[in-house]
Chain A
């Protein structure tokens, strides 16, 4: 690996390690997958910007050696949109937690998808608000337990894939922390894709979600991801429709990208000027 231009460790701010995440937290695995994807794409850290909101997942922007903005809760995509429109050549990566992306930042999420602006959103779905003590999020799901739902929640959850697809994202994929090599591949494709890309990665929270719902330790939760997910269109789905599909759901290169369209408007508007 020595002949590579960049190395995974070069993208890390090692002075902040060991990181703040709990033992077994899936977010560290997502960070590893993201760094390996960035390394394989040989992205230049000086041309890469990461914006994040608030939450366990958002701490990721402090650990990577890109330009990073740790912004306000749910508004990471709004800041990313601003950065991208000002400098369309930059690569924008936005890691978000489930609550940050779809509760607090729900509107920013659907509108960024609608505009199809060239940003890569990584939704690290641990089904809980970990940092604030285990409150249920819009992805916790009916019948699950949380600190604020000791007798189980009565809220239904969002399906990130269907939501992003309907909102207009031009690349949508889903994977889990168990499937680390698959995650690397999806993140690579999402970053290379021109347009709004969403990669949902199931990430275990053994401290809150796991403990409240008796899912065992981190390794058991990952085993559970292996057993409860299947590749898109698997025959196992016919027998057990409760299985969750993994894979690339949307990959549309034809959809017009927002910055390109904006550039065209600039050209039209400045016609006739010296």
Chain B
């Protein structure tokens, strides 16, 4: 079993209401709100896949998709 690595931040922009909870609690400041008050992942490379944003999103709008390191994109 390879180590898990980040594939993408799956953000549902229709569901996101821009409350900023994920931005506030991200330990690595990966997320920000854009000019439409929706969340975007601006520093994806810093993400440690802790999923705190996913667990605390009140709109179920963000999902951290991971894959095994040895798998192809």
Contact = CB atoms under 8 A, between A and B. Distances in A.
State the majority secondary structure of interface residues on B.
loop
Nearest to A184: B55
A231 interface: no
B15 A218 contact: no
Interface string B19-49: 1110111000000000000000000000000
Contacts of B57: 28-29, 32
B21 A180 contact: no
Contacts of B20: 24, 217-219
Interface residues of A, number: 30
A69 interface: no
Nearest to B66: A1
Contacts of B52: 180
Interface in A174-198: 177-178, 180-181, 184
**10 residue pairs, one from A and one from B, having the closest CB atoms:** A28-B58, A24-B19, A219-B24, A23-B17, A23-B19, A180-B55, A18-B15, A29-B58, A218-B19, A219-B21
B73 interface: no
Given A21-B58, A217-B19, 13 more contacts: A18-B15, A18-B61, A19-B59, A23-B17, A27-B58, A28-B57, A28-B60, A29-B55, A29-B57, A32-B57, A184-B55, A219-B19, A219-B21
Given A17-B15, A18-B14, A222 B59 contact: no
